[in-house]
């Protein structure tokens, strides 16, 4: 093949060489880290800027930055404190709340009035498209008594009301803007009442925020930095970006990476308190888990201490009741479902469900796969025939909502320390949640749920919620697995930033140090 | 003009392709389990709000009516509104298109010169040391999974050495070059061996072709024979392959884009699928179909230009 002359070859290799040299040359233009941007990365997407429209994880993170609420929580202690409402009076019968608003403005400079508050709350409560009206379920009416006074009347006394008025979807929006622009108001740049306003929204990629100059908390946000809430699906990529210094905060650090990140000097790897509970849903609508003994057997077959250790490397606490470990009135002394595989086998035989096929739903992420595999192995050991069916999130919700599954391990969290919303979500058959798609229903529990909100005395409430936890755990409404902290990694150049148990970033308290 | 005929025939075909693809994608996405309204409103949304959202977007209508509305809009040039973001699909595609196109062009620039060089080097002495090494390395490049390679390269060149960013698209031309270097290299590493093998085989085959012997008999120098006779003939199958690969990259850069967090069409597609954002998925599929048809057309035109025998 001397047909290929030397000089041509040399030319070709020179081109190749040149390309490589040029590419290598690019390496030296090291990216300058703009000091005035705080970059926060989450796997969860922002899909709407309308606080009423979604209860999905990514939007919850966003709402807190854009909208103020009547009350707020102290970033450090988590205590309820005045927000847009400077103070409030509660009528002696506990049915009327009168909120007195402070002087505050929207991001467009217009005043935040009682009419805006009444409009926002009524919208959450009564609009058909409101994703999560449950926290205002006890409300009869919201009205503006005058420009600065909002009166909320309840159907009956409702102990958790103030806490519920602080939840992420209770953000106050501008009535004038929504009246004028309709849904368009939230399509790109909404008028906001919170610490930030939208600079640019690139759906599916990132939301860029800048401080709201009219924010009512003077001096906040502490830093005038722009904030980017970036969505990155791949956990490996999130961690690589943090290590490479391209971003400042990563949410949902995989457990396997926690120890490694703790050794990185520039990174502050934290395990922050959460109200998250990992558990296994059981479908009470069909066999085998419509059978109480089969459920108890399934529960006893699972060594949740070992699971917590294996999956979270010991960073999570084994769960002992059906409720998150850090909600108020969680019963720490309850022994939980004990791990007794031999007894589980017997119980299963007694139930007549031995050898039954069990369809375990799992999504593709590592955590979901691990949980499904461990559960499958432990159930196989007591004589069930579990198989794992892999689906994506959309199909997961479809199947659980229709009751087309037998078991599915997942997590949920409670947006307030008060357990009312938690029990309504997880174990109440008459609250519209189908007990988190398990179709568990116990009229006694449903009655206790209502009773719990009417009782004002904390000691008595504690008893009620203890009873709910005892009944639902004994009946194995779900199988509690573990209570996991939020694994969040922060760049050390930031001060004051954390993810609260209600899954809100304290960005307004954040400053950039060295 | 046969060329005009070719183009007009292809464009006619395009209409058929688009109609077929619209129907298939529409059926596939709508019949897959999962509800966009649920994913939009979140897990705690009540059945009533889900129903209200479905009604608002017409998702509660019978499938055939939804399809007719979709087609009617399509014919009038409107590919729809994203269910999740309330933005026109075309706007989303435009936002995510540039990184993907840039990446594709970048990969081509990185992949074509070494392909030509390596194929020539290998074909010069088939079975020789150089050829063996090229083939061995090529097989290694082919077999390494892209996602693994991507993660490893971002750890090494991005995190440990700090030479390249591990994510994003950057700003400005050099910013794009810098940010997309690792993704482009990761893609080129499997693309180069594929193309090299094809070109090398064709080159070797052509060395014994009659027209080469004829050219030699007519007294052409070896250099002339190679550049004017062999290479143009050998390059045709590789060009076709390249066309397919480019079309594939525009629609299928999913893995590389996910690993390096490039905000391109692949990421948009994955998220739209996961979020059951029907019109985005359908719109993207149409874009991919159109680009595939156009790229094949371009390749055919190029082929006709290189080899006058190829007429249609």
Compute the nearest-CA separation of A232 from chain B (Å).
6
Report if residue B197 sits inside a domain: yes
Chain A and chain B share a number of CB contacts under 8 A equal to 213
Question: Any alpha helices (H) in A246-365, and if so which ranges?
Answer: 255-262, 292-300, 304-312, 341-351
Residue A45 pLDDT > 60, yes or no? yes
Q: Which residue of A has its CA nearest to B264?
A: A205
Contact A249, A496 (CB under 8 A): no
Q: What pLDDT, in 10s, does the model give residues A408-467?
A: 999 999 988 999 999 999 999 998 889 999 999 999 999 999 999 888 899 999 999 999
Distance, CA of A227 to CA of A243 (rounded, Å):
19
Chain centroid to CA A401: 19
**A114 confidence band (pLDDT: 50, 70, 90):** very high
Of B23, B41, B75, the residue that ends a domain is B75
ipTM, 2 dp: 0.84
- Tell whether B194 and B235 lie within a shared domain: yes
Residue A26 pLDDT > 50, yes or no? no
- Tell whether B94 and B64 lie within a shared domain: no
Report if residue B258 sits inside a domain: yes
Mean pLDDT over residues A298-303, rounded? 95
H/E element, A139: strand A139-146
Share of chain B above pLDDT 90, in %: 17
Report if residue B255 sits inside a domain: yes
Interface test with B, best of A394, A398, A414, A502 (most B CBs within 10 A): A394
A434 torsion bin: left (phi>0), alpha (psi -120 to 50), beta (else): left
pLDDT for A295: 96
- Tell whether B139 and B63 lie within a shared domain: no
- Tell whether B181 and B262 lie within a shared domain: yes
Residue B170 pLDDT > 90, yes or no? no
Report if residue B177 sits inside a domain: yes
Q: Which residue of A has its CA nearest to B161?
A: A244
- Is A131 at the interface with chain B, CB within 8 A? yes
Contact A117, A147 (CB under 8 A): no
- Is A113 at the interface with chain B, CB within 8 A? no
Distance, CA of A34 to CA of B96 (rounded, Å):
24
Nearest to B167 among A59, A241, A393 (CB): A241
- Tell whether B148 and B201 lie within a shared domain: yes
- Tell whether B7 and B117 lie within a shared domain: no
Distance, CA of A118 to CA of A108 (rounded, Å):
19
Of B49, B75, B101, the residue that ends a domain is B75
- Tell whether B223 and B110 lie within a shared domain: yes
Q: Which residue of B has its CA nearest to A135?
A: B44
Residue with tokens 């009512």: A216
A202 with B35: Cβ contact below 8 A: no
- The answer to whether the bond into A221 is cis (omega within 30° of 0) is yes
Compute the nearest-CA separation of A28 from chain B (Å).
7
Identify the CA nearest to B168 among candidates B160, B178, B153. Answer: B178
Distance, CA of A450 to CA of B57 (rounded, Å):
35
Share of chain A above pLDDT 70, in %: 93
Lookup: tokens for B166 = 């591990």
H/E element, B265: helix B265-274
Residue A471 pLDDT > 90, yes or no? yes
- Is A108 at the interface with chain B, CB within 8 A? no
- Is A430 at the interface with chain B, CB within 8 A? no
B82 with A203: Cβ contact below 8 A: yes
> What are the DSSP calls for A305-326, one per residue?
HHHHHHHHTT-SEEP-SSS-TT
Residue A64 pLDDT > 60, yes or no? yes
Which residues of chain B lie closer than 8 angstroms to A132, CB-CB? 42, 44-46
Identify the CA nearest to B43 among candidates A181, A353, A401. Answer: A401
Mean pLDDT over residues A384-396, rounded? 93
pLDDT for A514: 60
**B217 confidence band (pLDDT: 50, 70, 90):** confident
Residue A359's beta-bridge partner residues?
Answer: A387
Distance, CA of B55 to CA of B47 (rounded, Å):
12
Q: Which residue of A has its CA nearest to B164?
A: A27
Residue A494's beta-bridge partner residues?
Answer: A512
- Tell whether B28 and B109 lie within a shared domain: no
- Tell whether B269 and B176 lie within a shared domain: yes
Which residues of chain A lie closer than 8 angstroms to B124, CB-CB? 1, 4, 9
Residue A6 pLDDT > 50, yes or no? no
**A32 confidence band (pLDDT: 50, 70, 90):** very low
A203 with B38: Cβ contact below 8 A: no
Mean pLDDT over residues A37-62, rounded? 91
Contact A456, A157 (CB under 8 A): yes
Distance, CA of B207 to CA of B196 (rounded, Å):
17
* Averaged confidence pLDDT in chain A: 90
| Interior angle at CA A282, CA A280 and CA A288, nearest 5 | 135
**Which of A112-121, A152-161, B284-293 is modeled with the greatest confidence?**
A112-121
> What are the DSSP calls for A106-128, one per residue?
-TTS-B--HHHHHHHHHHHHH-T
Q: CB burial class (10 A; 0-12, 13-18, 19+) of residue A100?
A: middle
Report if residue B82 sits inside a domain: no
> What are the DSSP calls for B116-182, one per residue?
HHHHHHHHHSTTSHHHHHHHHHHHHHHHS-HHHHHHHHIIIIIIIS--S-SSS--SHHHHHHHHTHH
Interface test with A, best of B50, B166, B179 (most A CBs within 10 A): B166
B41 with A56: Cβ contact below 8 A: yes
Lookup: tokens for A66 = 């854009």
For residue B35, give its domain range.
2-75
Mean pLDDT over residues A79-99, rounded? 94
Length of chain B (residues): 312
Residue A321 pLDDT > 60, yes or no? yes
Lookup: tokens for B254 = 């999913």
Q: Is A395 in a helix, a strand, or coil?
A: helix
Distance, CA of A272 to CA of A127 (rounded, Å):
35
Residue A2 pLDDT > 70, yes or no? no
- Tell whether B123 and B237 lie within a shared domain: yes
Least confident of A41-50, A473-482, B230-239: B230-239
B162 torsion bin: left (phi>0), alpha (psi -120 to 50), beta (else): left
**How are beta strands A37-42 and A249-250 bridged, if at all?**
parallel
Which residues of chain B lie closer than 8 angstroms to A203, CB-CB? 82, 84-85, 87, 92
Number of domains in chain B: 2
Nearest to A55 among B42, B92, B276 (CB): B42
**A37 confidence band (pLDDT: 50, 70, 90):** very high
Residue with tokens 């450090």: A76
Higher-pLDDT residue of A443 and B141 is A443
Residue B224 pLDDT > 60, yes or no? yes
Please, how many CA atoms are within 13 Å of residue A368, restricted to the half-sphere of its CB? 18
Compute the nearest-CA separation of A381 from chain B (Å).
32
Which residues of chain B lie closer than 8 angstroms to A392, CB-CB? 34, 273-274
- List the helix and strand counts (H, then E) for chain A: 16, 21
B259 with A236: Cβ contact below 8 A: yes
Report if residue B80 sits inside a domain: no
Contact B76, A188 (CB under 8 A): no
Residue B12 pLDDT > 80, yes or no? yes
Which residues of chain A lie closer than 8 angstroms to B168, CB-CB? 246
Nearest to B87 among A15, A203, A240 (CB): A203
**A55 confidence band (pLDDT: 50, 70, 90):** confident
Q: Is A187 in a helix, a strand, or coil?
A: coil
A3 with B170: Cβ contact below 8 A: no
Which residues of chain A lie closer than 8 angstroms to B178, CB-CB? 26, 29, 31
Contact B225, B75 (CB under 8 A): no
Chain A, residues 169-198, CB within 8 A of chain B, namely: 183-184, 186-188
Distance, CA of B252 to CA of B269 (rounded, Å):
9
Least confident of A91-100, A408-417, B103-112, B217-226: B217-226
> Nearest 5°: phi and psi at B191?
-75, -40
Which residues of chain B lie closer than 8 angstroms to A423, CB-CB? none
- Tell whether B32 and B176 lie within a shared domain: no
Report if residue B84 sits inside a domain: no
pTM of the model as a whole: 0.86
Of B45, B75, B105, the residue that ends a domain is B75
Share of chain A above pLDDT 90, in %: 79
Report if residue B81 sits inside a domain: no
Distance, CA of A110 to CA of A114 (rounded, Å):
13
- Tell whether B20 and B134 lie within a shared domain: no
CATH code of B114's domain: 1.10.3720.10
Chain A, residues 358-397, CB within 8 A of chain B, namely: 391-395, 397
Residue with tokens 């992949």: B111
Distances (CA, A) of B82 to A177, A199, B26, B36, B85: 23, 21, 14, 10, 5
A26 with B177: Cβ contact below 8 A: yes
Distances (CA, A) of A118 to A64, A113, A153: 19, 9, 12
Nearest to A4 among B86, B113, B120 (CB): B120
Q: What pLDDT, in 10s, does the model give residues A264-299?
A: 999 999 999 999 999 999 999 999 999 999 999 999
B45 with A30: Cβ contact below 8 A: no
Q: Is A370 in a helix, a strand, or coil?
A: helix
Identify the CA nearest to B261 among candidates A240, A228, A27, A35. Answer: A240
Q: What pLDDT, in 10s, does the model give residues A219-245?
A: 999 999 999 999 998 888 999 999 999
- Is A29 at the interface with chain B, CB within 8 A? yes
Angle between helices B146-153 and B181-207 (to 10 degrees): 130
- Is A317 at the interface with chain B, CB within 8 A? no
Lookup: tokens for B137 = 């390395």
């Amino acid at each position: 093949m001397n047909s290929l002359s030397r000089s041509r070859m040399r030319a070709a290799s020179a081109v190749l060489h040149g390309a490589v040299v040029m590419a290598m040359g690019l390496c030296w233009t090291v990216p300058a880290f703009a000091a005035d941007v705080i970059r926060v990365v989450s796997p969860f997407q922002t899909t709407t800027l309308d606080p009423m429209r979604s209860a999905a994880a990514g939007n919850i993170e966003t709402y807190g930055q854009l909208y103020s609420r009547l009350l707020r929580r102290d970033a450090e202690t988590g205590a309820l404190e005045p927000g847009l409402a400077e103070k409030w009076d509660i009528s002696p019968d506990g049915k009327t709340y009168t909120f007195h608003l402070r002087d505050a403005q929207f991001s467009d400079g217009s005043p935040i009035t009682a009419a805006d508050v009444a409009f926002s709350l009524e919208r959450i409560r009564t609009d058909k498209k409101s994703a999560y009206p449950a926290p205002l379920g006890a409300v009869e009416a919201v009205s503006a008594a005058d420009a600065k006074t909002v009166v909320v009347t309840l159907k009956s006394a409702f102990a958790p009301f103030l806490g519920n008025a602080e939840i992420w979807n209770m953000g106050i929006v501008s009535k004038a803007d929504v009246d004028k622009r309709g849904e368009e108001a939230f399509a790109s740049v909404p008028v906001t009442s919170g610490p930030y306003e939208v600079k640019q929204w690139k759906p599916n990629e990132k939301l860029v925020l800048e401080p709201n100059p009219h924010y009512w908390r003077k001096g906040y946000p502490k830093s005038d930095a722009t904030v980017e809430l970036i969505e990155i699906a791949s956990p490996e990529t999130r961690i690589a970006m943090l290590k490479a210094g391209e971003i400042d905060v990563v949410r949902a650090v995989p457990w396997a990476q926690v120890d490694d990140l703790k050794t990185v000097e520039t990174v502050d790897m934290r395990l922050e308190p959460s109200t998250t509970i990992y558990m296994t849903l059981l479908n009470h609508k069909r066999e085998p888990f419509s059978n109480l003994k089969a459920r108890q057997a399934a529960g006893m077959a699972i060594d949740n201490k070992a699971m917590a250790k294996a999956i979270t490397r010991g960073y999570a606490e084994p769960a002992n009741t059906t409720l998150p470990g850090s909600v108020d009135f969680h019963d720490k002394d309850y022994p939980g479902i004990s791990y007794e595989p031999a007894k589980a086998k017997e119980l299963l035989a007694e139930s007549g469900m031995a050898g039954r096929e069990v369809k375990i739903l799992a999504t593709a992420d590592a955590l979901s796969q691990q949980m499904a595999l461990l559960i499958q192995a432990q159930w196989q050991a007591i004589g069930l025939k579990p198989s794992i069916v892999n689906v994506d999130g959309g199909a997961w919700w479809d199947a659980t909502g229709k009751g087309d599954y037998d078991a599915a391990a997942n997590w949920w969290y409670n947006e307030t320390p008060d357990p009312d919303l938690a029990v309504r979500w997880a174990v109440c058959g008459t609250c519209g949640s189908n007990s988190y798609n398990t179709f568990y229903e116990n009229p006694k529990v449903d009655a206790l749920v209502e009773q719990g909100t009417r009782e004002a005395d904390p000691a008595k409430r504690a008893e009620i919620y203890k009873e709910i936890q005892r009944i639902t755990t004994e009946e194995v409404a779900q199988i509690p697995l573990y209570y996991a902290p939020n694994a969040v990694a922060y760049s050390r150049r930031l001060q004051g930033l954390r993810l609260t148990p209600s899954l809100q970033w304290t960005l307004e308290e954040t400053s950039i140090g060295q | 003009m046969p060329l005009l005929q070719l183009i007009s025939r292809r464009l006619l075909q395009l209409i058929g392709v688009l109609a077929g693809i619209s129907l298939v994608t529409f059926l596939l996405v709508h019949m897959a389990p999962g509800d966009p309204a649920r994913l939009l409103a979140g897990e705690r949304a009540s059945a009533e709000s889900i129903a209200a959202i479905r009604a608002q977007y017409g998702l509660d209508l019978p499938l055939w009516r939804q399809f007719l509305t979709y087609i009617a809009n399509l014919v009038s040039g409107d590919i729809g509104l994203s269910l999740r973001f309330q933005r026109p699909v075309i706007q989303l595609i435009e936002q995510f298109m540039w990184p993907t196109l840039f990446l594709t062009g970048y990969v081509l620039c990185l992949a074509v010169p070494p392909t030509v060089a390596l194929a020539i080097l290998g074909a010069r002495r088939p079975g020789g040391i150089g050829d063996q090494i090229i083939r061995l390395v090529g097989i290694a490049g082919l077999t390494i999974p892209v996602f693994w390679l991507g993660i490893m390269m971002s750890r090494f060149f991005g995190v440990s050495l700090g030479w390249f960013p591990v994510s994003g698209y950057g700003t400005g031309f050099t910013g794009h070059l810098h940010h997309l270097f690792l993704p482009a290299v990761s893609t080129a590493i499997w693309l180069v061996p594929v193309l090299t093998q094809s070109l090398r085989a064709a080159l070797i085959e052509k060395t014994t072709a009659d027209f080469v012997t004829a050219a030699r008999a007519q007294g052409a120098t070896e250099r002339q024979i190679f550049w004017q006779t062999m290479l143009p003939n050998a390059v045709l199958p590789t060009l076709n392959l390249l066309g397919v690969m480019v079309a594939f990259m525009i629609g299928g850069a999913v893995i590389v884009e996910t690993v390096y967090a490039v905000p391109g069409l692949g990421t948009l597609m994955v998220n739209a699928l996961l979020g059951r954002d029907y019109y985005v998925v359908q719109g993207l599929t149409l874009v991919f179909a159109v680009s595939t048809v156009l790229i094949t057309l371009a390749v055919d035109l190029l082929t006709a230009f290189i080899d006058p025998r190829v007429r249609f």
